[in-house]
Chain A
């Protein structure tokens, strides 16, 4: 998701009540039958022309899901989801399988343009330096509508396509890695996703290749009563590097919609994956009506020695966020990073954080989390840092800061720090405060009004994380944060 000026301008106009991505694309679409059943899954799997093993994998997940209880440990509350009232498959009628751009419905292209996501390669090429190009996989409800720059990437040996396509074209790779980081039964929503996942992105970077451009997936939920269950799988083979960006929006609707994604990353020896998210699903209106339930399992496996996985997230959207991008530091000398900004306003509830599981020797991790609560929102950081028996010389540094704006919100910090190795060194710091009166007064004395002063101070507060984002994303994220907090002072 490159932040073209158009996007920035659009984002600029948003406030809590005016989520500008809230439009609905009027496009003829096809839905599967309502409800969660074996039929639904067989239908879905057939729609996608999947191999038999995949259908079985899904059915197995469904059976396990039906035995599971919804978790209740997170600090979020919402009415029970009736999985039989949801649709698990919705697709624009005009799309069947991956297409070249010429065949994509103009209505869809327009939608993405409105969102600031240019899909026409020639348009992107005009006026953009080659190193700043971004390849985009655009997922609309349950299907990937187009993936750009595929051919050029292929020349470098990089596979970037929808996971549906990957299942047909690269079944061995998919079979080898899917579910290997997030097992089918990992957790309630991951199991659900394993049963019904519709589409998502697949990336494979071959040995020694530095991916020639940023890769990005842009998720859009359009259809009503439809859950989005995407699944992303990224494999960085030995010595490779990739930077991947993810963005998401949804129309403004009165009912809540479910988004239960699974993202799996695998980094082999000396490989590095940088995964950035700007999450801007519809947060619900000012009374807390509507909005996306964002229940996501993201996990990276630093499987090889000297590998590195870095998560950066800017969470401003969704009615409820339940998300813990994690790293399993299995390879010796591997490194995990988690940089997060979570902004909650209105009636939003965020329960997010990370897990850094140190298994290998000389592994290191760094966690920087900045939470900002405003309005009537609840914002929780929940994190686990653990060093296992053999993780000698593991290192972690965690910094977890919360800022409260207003008296009706909550900010919570729940860190679990477990060391089973004496040579592991963990350091954790957390603070909770409000914007200091002195800082505010100082800014006002220099002529800024209250909103300008808050925006400035908040941007300073989140700076450490913003710096981790690719440049174009950073500008967008900063605007988004200011906008998310509009109306929170006064």
Chain B
């Protein structure tokens, strides 16, 4: 196995190459952006989709999973978008602003642009930005880890998305939901750039609604969190679908900043939720949480790299996974501490509960440390429901199913409660119950 030998493209890879040829002229962007797209596609051509021989995809072989690639979704009809939006049940009746991206493109008329403007938040179309002089800069993130395959795929095909800017000191009064929805089947490739100014506060909800058929969703959320700013991002990856859900967060933190996120997975057959957290200023904190539920032959992958490049930053990672059927859960987390990033405090925990004999969990919590005055720790556990606890509950008259549900809820809620954001996570308990009852 020579790593440099050219690969033989799979059906999906050939489809992607065809898709690119067909869509290229319609894809937005300056000359420089087109060059980046070509280059990114070249990476897919040469190396293929991410596969198990690539260390970061050891447990999540997208190349083997994707049998074919659907064409990109085409522009949505406004009334259809409205229909899907009204039918979607993402965060219940929580008061919130909405920004809508449908079939891969920003839908300004259904987004709360004026209300957000009043809060100090400007929202613009990514495609405009891509065509401008700064377009290439938007796609050139050096912070995603070395040549990540998903981000390359995103760069090649990105259809649209939004550029959100929160001005310095603005404390946005309600959560902002980035609604990504489908009115027709087809792949959606979206990139959102969210810049949060100095001292600003923003809570983001990231949701995905509608049926994309066989089309994958590949979305990158690129957060720039300035000094003293605070961001909480709650991501909901739910609903049954056979198509891949490929989601990436890139967060770059200034000094005294705080970024926290919760990635909630329940339903799709193949989810890769990856996050790259980069500290560039001192005294900042990142708190990353994950809750994965997978049944049937689902794969739920939570992958995370926290890069402590500067001193005096803290990070906390806490992930919970519940598996049933023949599902596979993956947690890969790495804390990097660069030389001189002294006084780093990093703490990572991943716990898995296997409900069936045939489920599989792979945990890979890594530490990569080049500074001596640090305190880093990680823990990993996996096992089944505690039989003693189960018996205790049943002895108190609680039927087995309900007892199991209670124990699973208790297990998952540790992470959800530590994340906080109670108003946002209120509906998650019901989602857990529904998942347990219905998968």
Answer whether A and B touch in the complex at a CB cut-off of 8 Å. yes
| A→B interface (CB under 8 Å) | 69, 73, 389, 402, 404-434
Question: What is the minimal beta-carbon distance from A408 to any residue of chain B, in angstroms?
Answer: 7
CB <8 Å contact, B374 and A433: yes
CB <8 Å contact, A428 and B374: no
CB <8 Å contact, A431 and B364: no
| Interface membership of chain B positions 370-408, coded 1 if the CB is closer than 8 angstroms to chain A and 0 otherwise | 111111111111111000000000000000000000000
Which B residue's beta carbon lies closest to that of A428?
B380
**Other A-B pairs, 4, CB within 8 Å; known A413-B368, A419-B360:** A416-B363, A417-B362, A417-B382, A422-B358
CB <8 Å contact, B374 and A432: yes
CB <8 Å contact, B376 and A420: no
Pick from B352, B375, B378: contact of A413, CB under 8 Å: B378
Question: What is the minimal beta-carbon distance from A461 to any residue of chain B, in angstroms?
Answer: 14
Question: What is the minimal beta-carbon distance from A393 to any residue of chain B, in angstroms?
Answer: 10
Is B367 among interface residues, defined by CB-CB distance under 8 A?
Answer: yes
Cα distance A432–B334 in the bound complex, in angstroms: 13
Cα distance A426–B362 in the bound complex, in angstroms: 11
Is B361 among interface residues, defined by CB-CB distance under 8 A?
Answer: yes
Pick from A410, A415, A422, A429: contact of B368, CB under 8 Å: A410
Cα distance A347–B391 in the bound complex, in angstroms: 56
Cα distance A421–B382 in the bound complex, in angstroms: 10
Cα distance A406–B372 in the bound complex, in angstroms: 6
CB <8 Å contact, A417 and B363: yes
Question: What is the minimal beta-carbon distance from A297 to any residue of chain B, in angstroms?
Answer: 19
Q: From residue 42 to 75 of chain B, which have CB atoms closer than 8 A to chain A? A: 55
| Interface membership of chain B positions 339-351, coded 1 if the CB is closer than 8 angstroms to chain A and 0 otherwise | 1101000000000
CB <8 Å contact, B2 and A412: no
Pick from B2, B339, B383: contact of A424, CB under 8 Å: B383
Question: What is the minimal beta-carbon distance from B267 to any residue of chain A, in angstroms?
Answer: 21
Pick from A408, A417, A423: contact of B384, CB under 8 Å: A423
CB <8 Å contact, B370 and A422: no
Q: From residue 316 to 363 of chain B, which have CB atoms closer than 8 A to chain A? A: 339-340, 342, 352, 354-363
Cβ–Cβ < 8 Å partners of B380 in chain A: 415, 417, 426-428
Cβ–Cβ < 8 Å partners of B110 in chain A: none
CB <8 Å contact, A412 and B340: no
Q: From residue 10 to 38 of chain B, which have CB atoms closer than 8 A to chain A? A: none
Pick from B342, B368, B382: contact of A419, CB under 8 Å: B382
11 A-B pairs within 8 Å (CB atoms) are namely A389-B358, A410-B369, A413-B367, A413-B368, A415-B366, A417-B380, A420-B358, A422-B359, A428-B380, A430-B378, A432-B374
CB <8 Å contact, A429 and B379: yes
Cβ–Cβ < 8 Å partners of A430 in chain B: 365, 367, 377-379
CB <8 Å contact, A411 and B367: yes
| Max count, chain A CB within 10 A of own CB: residue among B356, B367, B380 | B367
Cβ–Cβ < 8 Å partners of A410 in chain B: 368-370
Cβ–Cβ < 8 Å partners of A69 in chain B: 1-2
Cβ–Cβ < 8 Å partners of B363 in chain A: 415-418, 426, 428
Q: 8 closest A-B pairs (Cβ-Cβ)? A: A422-B354, A404-B372, A425-B383, A428-B380, A417-B363, A413-B367, A432-B376, A431-B377
CB <8 Å contact, A411 and B369: yes
CB <8 Å contact, A415 and B365: yes
| Max count, chain A CB within 10 A of own CB: residue among B362, B363, B372 | B372
CB <8 Å contact, A432 and B367: yes
Which A residue's beta carbon lies closest to that of B385?
A422
Cα distance A69–B1 in the bound complex, in angstroms: 8
Cα distance A404–B352 in the bound complex, in angstroms: 30
A419-B360, A430-B379, A433-B376 are known contacts. Are A412 and B369 too (CB-CB below 8 A)? yes
CB <8 Å contact, A429 and B377: yes
CB <8 Å contact, B55 and A404: no
Cα distance A402–B370 in the bound complex, in angstroms: 12
Cβ–Cβ < 8 Å partners of B372 in chain A: 404-407, 409, 434
Which A residue's beta carbon lies closest to that of B386?
A425
Question: What is the minimal beta-carbon distance from B263 to any residue of chain A, in angstroms?
Answer: 20
Cα distance A429–B380 in the bound complex, in angstroms: 7
Cα distance A389–B369 in the bound complex, in angstroms: 34
Which A residue's beta carbon lies closest to that of B353?
A422
Which A residue's beta carbon lies closest to that of B328?
A420
CB <8 Å contact, B369 and A404: yes
Cβ–Cβ < 8 Å partners of B381 in chain A: 425-428
